[in-house]
Structure 1
C-alpha cells in the first residue's frame, strides 16, 4: 500500500488503523509506505503527557512500525518533495524481500504517490491500482489552490492511469464522471466503498439532546466552516439560543476562535477539538439534533454515514458520498454553498417534527450496506479478483 496517511506511523488509532485491523485478516502480509512523520507529531507521540498510545505504536525514530502481526508501516526518512523516490527505493527493497502481488496507491494532488507508483511499476512490473478518494476543487473549489489542483488532476490522471491496472473510486455520483472527463476508460474504473460503519458503536441512543447542530471534520477551507458560522448567525435571528458543536482541529482553529469571539457567538458555538475515540463521536452525535456538513469538496465524509446510523438527520452539500446516500427531501437535505440556504433548512428541520422523524427513519436503511465487516471483505475480494492468474 502506498498511502499519504501518516497516522499509523505517528502512533494514532484512527480510521486507517480501524480499516487495517479488519483488512489484514485477508492477507499474509501488508506493507504500507507513507510520508515522513512530522517532528511535532513524533514529539507528541513520544513525550506528551496526554498521550495514551501503546508503546509499540509510538514512533521513536524513522523505522518500520508494526501495529499488527502482519502489517508493517514504512515512513519515509526524506522530505515530502522526494516522496516519489522514497516509494521507488523502499518499494523495490520490499519487493526483493517479500515478492508482493499488488500495489494500492492512494493518489491525490500533487501526485507524489502516483508518480512513485509509476516509477516502481517500471522497475518491478507489479500491477498497481490508483485509489481516488478525494478530488480537491471538485465539485467546487474553496480557493485558487484547489482550483489549480482540480485542473492538475484532470491532466495527470490521464497519464498515470495508462499503466494502472484499475482506478478505484469510493463514491459513484461524482468520481466516475470526473474520471471519464479525464479520458479514463470506463472499463478501468471500479467502485469499492472505503467508508464503513460499526453498527455496534453508531446507533440511536436514548440521551438528552444538548446541541441543535454538530459539525465534525478538519478545520480547513474545503470543509466550509465559514459557511457554517454565517448560517449560525442567520439562524440565531429566529432561534437566539441555537447551539452548535464543532468537533475537530486544523489550520483555521485559531482564526475561528477569534471570529466566534468577535461575532459574540461564544454562547452559540462550542469548539470541542477531536473526540478521543469513535465511542465519544457516537455519543456526541446522539446528543445533537442535526449534522451539518457544508463542504466544498469531499471524498466522503464518513461522518455523514455515522450520523445517519445514529438516527440524526443530515444537512449537507452535494459532495463525495452524499449524493449516493441522501435523497433530498426524503432522507436528508441537500444544501447550496450559501449561508442563507443552510440556515433556512436548519430552521425548517428544527421546527418540522414530521420531516425530522422521516429523515431519521429513512436514513438507517441506507447505512446497512456500509456495515464494517461486509464492506472490508468486499474490498479485499475485489483486490483478490484483480490478481487472480
Structure 2
C-alpha cells in the first residue's frame, strides 16, 4: 500500500504523543509499504518515511493554547501542496482544519480518508476558548461527518464519538517495549515520584505540587522530579518555593534524549500523571514498562485513567491534593509488589502489535473503497 499521514508536527523534531504515534507506526509500516508524511518544515530527515513539507514552521502555542492561526495556515498550505496518489490517507483529527483540506483531496483523488481521533472535546471548548468555544465545538462536530472511517486511540474517545453517532475502531497508542526494557537505570540518584510532560494547565502539575506538601509531613525528605517545560513552569516553581518544597521538587526541564527519560523513570518509584485532560497517556505505559506503578486522577477528560487497573498496575485518585497524596503513599509502599504486573500490562501495547492492527484496518478500508 501507499499510505499518507497528515499532521503538522514531526517526531523526533517535535516531541508529543500524536507525532510519536505517526512516527512509530509509520516507520514500521514502511518495512512493507510506502509511507509519506505531510507536515510543516522541520529540520532533519526520517530514514523510512518520506516527509513532504508544505509550509514553514509556525509557533504552535500562544501561552498554553494551540494557535488557531497556525492551524489555519497548515490547512491552507495543504490545499495548495498536498499531492500524489495514495491507497489510504490518515489525517490526525487535531487541529481540525487540516482534516477539511485533506477531505477535499480525498474526494478529488477518490482516496479513502481515515481520521484518527485523539480527543473529543465537545463542551470543553468553552473552557479552552471562552466565547469562541462555540466555534470550536461546531468545527469539531463538522469534522465527525467527513468520513465513515474513524480510529479512536482509546475507548474513552470512542464513547465520546458515539455521542455524535460516529462509530470508530479503537486502535490505541503504544510503546517501544523492548527498547524501554533495554535502557539501563540512571545510576547515582533515586526519586520517589516522577512526572514527565509539557507544563501546561491541563497537565495539572499544581495538584502534584500541593500533594507533595502533604506527603512531606509523612516523608520529610521526599524527592520529586518534574521533567518537562512549558508556560506553567515558572508559576509552578514559585509555588514550590512558597510551599517550602525547593529541596523536595526538582524541575529538570525537557530531556533531549528519549533514553534519558526512560533511565530517569527506572530510577523512580512512582510515576504520577495528574492531568485533567489527557487524550491517551503514553508516558503511563512507558512508566509501567519501566517497572513502576502509575497514579492518575479520575476526571471526565482524562483518558489515561482507563489505562490503570486500580491496585494492579497503579492507582486511581480523586483530583484533590489529599486523595492524590494518599494514593502516592500507597503506591510508594506497594510499588515493588506491582512491578511484574506493570511490565506484563505494558507489553500488550508494544508498537509492533499496534501496527498490525492499523495495517489490517487500512487493508479493509482500501478493499471496501
TM-score band, normalised by shorter chain: 0.7 to 0.9
| Cα deviations by residue, 1:298-332 (Å, 9 ceiling, x for unpaired) | 12211111111111011012465534432112321
Report the structure, 1 or 2, having the larger strand content.
2
Q: How does 1:62-77 map to 2 (within 5 A)?
A: 66-68=45-47, 70-77=49-56
* Residues 218-297 of structure 1 aligned to structure 2 (within 5 Å): 218-297=198-277
**2:364 equivalent in structure 1:** 385
Question: 1:102, CA displacement in angstroms?
Answer: 1.5
Q: Does 1:163 align with 2:146?
A: yes
Contact 1:195 1:300 in 2 (8 A): no
What is the rounded CA distance, in whole Å, between the counterparts of 2:293 and 2:213 in structure 1?
21
102, 114, 119: which is aligned to 2:88?
Answer: 102
Distance of aligned partners of 1:112 and 1:36 in 2 relative to their CA distance in 1, 3 Å threshold: farther
Query: 304, 320, 323: which is aligned to 1:322?
Result: 304
Q: What is the correspondence of 1:121-200 to structure 2 with a 5 Å cutoff?
A: 121-136=106-121, 144-145=127-128, 155-172=138-155, 174-184=156-166, 186=167, 189-200=168-179
In structure 2, relative to structure 1, the CA distance for the partners of 1:276 and 1:235 (3 Å cut) is same
Separation of aligned partners in 1, 2:119 and 2:126: 16
| Residues 282 and 143 of structure 1: CA distance in aligned 2, closer, same or farther (over 3 Å) | farther
| Structure 1 residue 253 displacement after superposition | 1.8
> 1:268 and 1:294, CA in 2 relative to 1: closer, same or farther beyond 3 A?
same
1:86 corresponds to 2:77: yes
User: Can you list the C-alpha shifts for 1:21-75, whole angstroms capped at 9, x where unaligned?
Assistant: 32322322x22222466xxxxxxx6xxxxxxxxxxx1xxxxxxxx4225522314
Q: TM-score, normalised by structure 2?
A: 0.83
Query: Structure 1: how far apart are the matches of 2:179 and 2:264?
Result: 16
What secondary structure, in the 3-state scheme, does the structure 1 residue paired with 2:272 have? strand
Q: What is the alpha-carbon root mean square deviation over aligned residues? A: 3.0
Distance 1:171 1:333 in 2: 19
| Superposed displacement of residue 148, structure 1 | 7.5
Task: Please tell me whether residue 2 in structure 1 is matched to residue 3 in structure 2.
Answer: no
- What are the ranges of 5 or more consecutive residues in structure 1 without an aligned counterpart? 38-44, 46-56, 58-65
* C-alpha separation in 2, matches of 1:301 and 1:21: 21
- 3-state SS of 1:237 partner: helix
- TM, length-normalised to structure 1: 0.79
Q: 1:360 to 1:200 in 2, by over 3 A?
A: same
Number of residue equivalences = 346
- Distance in 1 (alpha carbons) for counterparts of 2:14 and 2:348: 31
Question: Could you tell me how far 1:176 is from its partner in structure 2?
Answer: 1.3
Cα deviation for residue 127 of structure 1 reads 1.6
Rounded to whole Å, the distance in 2 between the matches of 1:359 and 1:136 is 33
Q: By how many angstroms is 1:125 displaced? A: 3.0
